[in-house]
Amino acid sequence: MTDPVTELHECFLSAMRAAFGGALPEGASPSLAASKNPQFGDFQANAAMGLSKAMGKPPREIASAIAEQLKKDERFMAVSESPEVAGPGFINIRLKSAALSRALAALDGVALGIDRPNAGAVETVVVDLCGVNLAKQMHVGHLRATVIGDALARLWERLGHKVIRQNHFGDWGLPIAMVTAAVKRGVDRGEIDLGTLTLERLERLYRSSQRVCEADEKGLAAAVRFGLGPKAMAELEAQVGGAREAQASSRAALVALQSHDPAYVSVWKRICDITLASCFEICRRLHANVTAEATAGESVFAHELEGLVADLVERGVAVESEGALVVRLEEFGIKEPCLVRKTGGGFLYATTDLAAIRRRVQSFGADRVIYAVDARQSLHFRQVFAAARKAGYTRRSDGAEALLFHAAFGTVLGDDGTPFKTRSGENVRLSDLLDEAVARAEAAVKEKSPELSEVERRAIAEAVGTGAIKYADLSNDRVKDYVFSFDRMLAFEGNTGPYLQYALVRVRSIFRKAKEQFGIEESVFERSPPAMTIVAPEEKAVALLLLRYPGAVRAAAESCEPHRLCAYLYDLAGAFSSFFASCPVLQAEDEATRMSRLRLSRLVGRVLRDGLDVLGIVPLERM
Ligand code: ARG
């Protein structure tokens, strides 16, 4: 037994079936939960309340019948004391002390109770994450796509599945051609040196070329209508003319790129390299595993789009609508059709995503594709998922349907409740945020632990600062918006990254003292682990939480909600802190208790370390 809840749940189900047979309503659940009050036991089952209405019997009677069956179940009685019916019909369960020790010892194995699935049950999971855009710096909006996406990838990896990360890099389309054309002009005029070009300069070029392309056609029409005079007319005409020229040159650049014109391709490639080098560097700092191998830009699919749309038309999946091609989705309850080709013939963001799904499912063999993308793209993904299904692109070669899931996240807000921006209204650069968090963390570490060397302090500050930003992002309910606050996320108290890192540091420091004061080597706990005897209520609280770890990882992966694992780790750290405050470990009354508590503490440390690692947060030995 590693997870008593699962074990008890199964025993309850068979007891309910044995007690009521066919009279049991379908989907009846034991409703088993940890007890709020340890006086009444470790777990409480509320099944009888729900069943009472459906079965027309008083809940106490139902509870007693279930309890009687449980008492006859050897498997149940091996782990639990005799069940007790209480109040209107609760069933209280208290684990046997020996069973609890056994379960804890089993959890203390290499895998911490998370065993690899059988070969046949290993899933291929594609995680779409990061999704930066060409010639742009990573800003706070990419934080969530990167941090949540990477945590989801880690969660599925931790469960033993095969994970393929995909950074759907926005490197194709008219705006990209526009900036490529602008850079090429600069190079041709000798104003830009591709070798020393920076991302900052590229981003400025992007913005200025975008402005040039924005024709004030409406302004010109109004000027004509209101007869604004020759000077204003001339100015507006020149602006519109310039814009038309710039647009034409962007379109020419797109054609050149599409036909692999080396003069344009080499400039474009260089822009890609500059953008990605900065992206990978930030991901490395974020401790998020996003690499060149995991990057498949939109350009990768460019040559497939024509064939893909032809395939959709041929099979009647896409139809013409006002000169454009669309996939109708009424049968999926979606009013808005998915546009796959514009009237002028251009393809869209959605067309590329369809190609990406086809590749992920049919070439990579994905069982599941998870998209860590902003909630504001919800309609896009509903449309694309439905269109892909209609087109049969979600069917794998073995005939199974892949599961597509938009792990949508909310917006990062500033103090004023609007999307987080700099004072001048610009997007906040992710590198600036990380620098500031690390600087603040360094000041805090310096104050807390002045004895650390500078090198050590720097490394710790980097882990604490970036960990704080990541944890704040991961611990908030994924779909909700949250307010960005350095003060809150860097606090050493509360549900924060530093608090969890510090909880682990406390465990580690117990083991340094154990060695200094008692000569206890940690390897003892591997070689001949002492018995864990759970007596005090605080010990029990820690023990019961520990046993929930595998379930917490599983639940977070399956729901694609890392915040569930965060909440679990926070609870565990809190329970450990109460345990540590009321149960002496090194100063325990006897040797057996000391060793038992040391092993329990060590197990807490192992789970905290593993959990932080699954979230992509660096665990620390000291801070
Ligand atoms: N580059 C896109 C953006 O900035 C995000 C890409 C998300 N992934 C996808 N498969 N569409 O909005």
Architecture of domain 4-95: 2-Layer Sandwich (3.30)
- Residue 596 pLDDT: 98
CA distance 547 to 108: 10
Picking from 151, 411, 394, the residue whose alpha carbon sits closest to that of residue 283 is 151
CA distance 41 to 44: 7
pLDDT for 153-178, tens place per residue? Answer: 999 999 999 999 999 999 999 889 99
Does 174 or 411 have the greater pLDDT score?
A: 411
**Which part of the chain has CATH 3.30.1360.70?**
4-95
- Residue 2 pLDDT: 54
| Rg value, the chain, Cα | 30
Q: Rounded to 5 degrees, what angle do the CA atoms 555, 559, 563 make?
A: 75
Tokens of residue 229, six digits:
């005079």
Q: Atom of ligand 1 at shortest distance to CA of 374?
A: 12
* Torsion angle defined by CA atoms of residues 391, 394, 396 and 397, in that order, rounded to the nearest 10 degrees: 10
State the pLDDT confidence band at 37, using cuts at 50, 70 and 90: confident
- Residue 220 pLDDT: 72
Backbone phi and psi for residue 294, each to the nearest 5 degrees, phi listed first: -90, 5
**pLDDT at residue 468 above 60?**
yes
**pLDDT at residue 406 above 80?**
yes
pLDDT for 378-392, tens place per residue? Answer: 999 999 999 999 999
Q: Whose CA is nearest to atom 12 of ligand 1?
A: 131
pLDDT for 553-607, tens place per residue? Answer: 999 999 999 999 999 999 999 999 999 999 999 999 999 999 999 999 999 999 9
Helix (H, G, I), strand (E, B) or coil at 296: coil
Ligand 1 pocket test, pick from 373, 374, 379, 384 with the greatest ligand atom count within 8 Å of Cβ, gives: 373
- Inter-axis angle of helices 537-547 and 591-615, nearest 10: 40
Q: Rounded to 5 degrees, what angle do the CA atoms 124, 128, 129 make?
A: 130
Picking from 32, 117, 57, 45, the residue whose alpha carbon sits closest to that of residue 85 is 45
CA distance 167 to 290: 7
- Residue 246 pLDDT: 82
Report the share of the chain in percent with pLDDT over 70.
Answer: 99
Report the share of the chain in percent with pLDDT over 90.
Answer: 86
Q: Atom of ligand 1 at shortest distance to CA of 133?
A: 1
Residue labelled with tokens 């981003």: 203
Q: Whose CA is nearest to atom 2 of ligand 1?
A: 131
Residues whose CB falls within 8 Å of the CB of residue 596, separated by 6 or more in sequence, listed in order: 530, 531, 532, 533
Picking from 551, 614, 576, the residue whose alpha carbon sits closest to that of residue 7 is 551
Q: Atom of ligand 1 at shortest distance to CA of 353?
A: 10
Q: What average pLDDT does the segment 58-75 reach?
A: 95
**pLDDT at residue 105 above 90?**
yes
Distance of CA 137 from the midpoint of ligand 1 (Å): 15
Distance of CA 133 from the midpoint of ligand 1 (Å): 8
Distance of CA 557 from the midpoint of ligand 1 (Å): 22
pLDDT for 199-258, tens place per residue? Answer: 999 999 999 888 877 766 677 777 777 777 777 777 778 777 778 888 888 899 999 999
Distance of CA 145 from the midpoint of ligand 1 (Å): 9
pLDDT for 87-100, tens place per residue? Answer: 999 999 999 999 99
CA distance 604 to 609: 9
Chain centroid to Cα 179, Å, comes to 32
Q: Whose CA is nearest to atom 6 of ligand 1?
A: 131
- Residue 278 pLDDT: 97
Q: What is the pTM of this model?
A: 0.93
Q: What average pLDDT does the segment 61-72 reach?
A: 96
CA distance 150 to 74: 43
Mean pLDDT estimate for the chain? 94
Size (the chain), residues: 623
Ligand 1 pocket test, pick from 127, 133, 206 with the greatest ligand atom count within 8 Å of Cβ, gives: 133
The one-letter code for the residue type at 170 is: G
What CATH number is given for 497-615 in this structure?
A: 1.10.730.10
- Residue 480 pLDDT: 97
The one-letter code for the residue type at 11 is: C
Q: Atom of ligand 1 at shortest distance to CA of 384?
A: 11
Distance of CA 523 from the midpoint of ligand 1 (Å): 47
Distance of CA 168 from the midpoint of ligand 1 (Å): 6
Q: Whose CA is nearest to atom 3 of ligand 1?
A: 131
Distance of CA 373 from the midpoint of ligand 1 (Å): 7
Residue labelled with tokens 């909440």: 567
Q: What average pLDDT does the segment 122-130 reach?
A: 98
Other CB atoms within 10 Å distance of the CB of residue 521? 12
Distance of CA 142 from the midpoint of ligand 1 (Å): 10
Tokens of residue 542, six digits:
């820690």
Q: Rounded to 5 degrees, what angle do the CA atoms 53, 55, 57 make?
A: 80
**Which part of the chain has CATH 1.10.730.10?**
497-615
Distance of CA 371 from the midpoint of ligand 1 (Å): 9
Q: Atom of ligand 1 at shortest distance to CA of 380?
A: 11
Q: What is the DSSP string of 465-511?
A: HHHHHHHHHHHS-TTS-EE--HHHHT-SSSSSHHHHHHHHHHHHHHH
Ligand 1 pocket test, pick from 129, 130, 168, 364 with the greatest ligand atom count within 8 Å of Cβ, gives: 168
Tokens of residue 126, six digits:
């594609």
Give the pocket of ligand 1 (CB within 6 Å). 128, 131, 133, 168, 170, 353, 356, 371, 373
Which range is least confidently modeled, 16-25, 450-459, 505-514? Answer: 16-25
Secondary structure element (H or E) that encloses residue 614, with its range: helix 591-615
Tokens of residue 315, six digits:
């099979």
Distance of CA 205 from the midpoint of ligand 1 (Å): 22
pLDDT for 310-356, tens place per residue? Answer: 999 999 999 999 999 999 999 999 999 999 999 988 999 999 999 99
